[in-house]
Amino acid sequence: MELECAVQKYAWGVKGLRSSVAQLAKAVQPDLEVADDQPFAELWMGTHPSGPSVVKATGQALGDYISKQPGVLGSPVIEKFGEQLPFLFKVLSVNQALSIQAHPNKNHAEQLHKERPEVYKDPNHKPEMTIALTPFQALCGFRPAQQILKHLKEVHELRMVIGDDACNEFSENPSEENLKACFSAMMNSPKDIIASSLSDLLQRFSEMDSVKGNELLRDLFITLHEKYPGDVGCFSIYLMNYLTLQPGEAMFLGPNIIHAYLLGDCIECMACSDNVVRAGLTPKYQDVETLVNMLEYKMVSIESRKFEGFKMDDYTTLYNPPVPDFAVDMIEIPDGMNQYTLRPMESASIVLVVEGSAGDVDVNPASSGEVPHATHIERGSVLFVVAGQSLTLKPKPGSRFLAFRALCIL
């Protein structure tokens, strides 16, 4: 069944038709208005109440359709998660940094929701996975200790914000406990010290040669400060890994992993939740104490933050993270290949076409009920596939066919 999906216009999104989100949405909704000055940040595919998808042929909410025919989810999904779709599938177009954030584990999410339901609006955890569509910049996890020590030595303004006591403790013993003390001291630093330290570093960058400036991440720091002037989160780049995922590369964010997306387009899949604990690089509510106390403070390399996919065959790569809520297939069919069948799964799945089109789609077994199945799909098409169904695609010649599929492997 083809779906119509919700678009989120958050301020950090890419504006107008430069946004992949806008391009994909408008490709299948020609009447969608896309103003040049309007940000298009996220495309949501699923049943989350903040942006539910609807069945295109009938206008029925996908969640309602599933509740009336829960068997479409597949028995393993129902046994594990009940009669609901356990994942939320997204496309993101990021033009400026999203907040420094982490997601609570299941027990912590339930506790936060119980204590502050107005802030933490659902009790579910939110593990998530990102797969780059374009070169995608992000901060993720804490740097190896030697890199942090180097920055504490060379970025005097960072030392001012953290304070000598915490810096010296970490220098003498670069433990996770002492890193937590440094991060906490930075995030809770007095506003006047933050302001003067940011100003001092900007001034020093203006006088610094390009080689040294690049070593100290000058361009990134200046870009963040232009978007979030006066924000102590600008200094987080010296404690956190700064990485660029190339198209097809992925990272998995389990609970309590600090991260911030910076720039680019990506596919994202997560548990069906919107639980975020923020602190820095955001005008939204910041819960510094909760974030500091929940984080994992392991100091690891950039490469260890990347998540490898597994080649199922020549055309499908499976990204299967260590959670039951979701996995993602990347399906890449080269120009000239006449036919390809997506394997049937024991769970329902959602397929998004990112490039190319298929003029003929065979479904086996055919859908039951009154909703017709899609027979033609193109860039921007989103399909809900019932558990146990396989799709045979016959791509049109002229370009490669690229699609992503969210599913559960239980």
Render the burial of 160-176: b for 16+ CB within 10 Å, e for the rest: bbbbeebbebbbeebee
Question: 26 vs 17, 32, 40, 333, CA distance in Å?
Answer: 9, 6, 11, 23
Cβ contact 7:40 at 8 Å: yes
Q: Using CA atoms, how far apart are residues 306 and 35, in angstroms rounded to an integer?
A: 35
Pick the catalytic residue: 278, 305, 379, 405? 278
Tokens of 332: 């890449």
Q: Using CA atoms, how far apart are residues 337 and 308, in angstroms rounded to an integer?
A: 26
Peptide bond into 49 cis (omega under 30): no
Q: Using CA atoms, how far apart are residues 224 and 384, in angstroms rounded to an integer?
A: 38
| Of the candidates 90, 16, 62, the residue with the CA atom closest to the CA atom of residue 261 | 90
In this structure, the number of other CB atoms found within 10 A of the CB of residue 147 comes to 16
Peptide bond into 365 cis (omega under 30): yes
> H-helix or E-strand containing 278?
strand 277-278
Give yes or no: 218 in active site.
Answer: no
Cβ contact 118:209 at 8 Å: no
- Burial of residue 114 (CB within 10 Å: 0-12, 13-18, 19+) is exposed
By annotation, the residues acting in catalysis are: 278
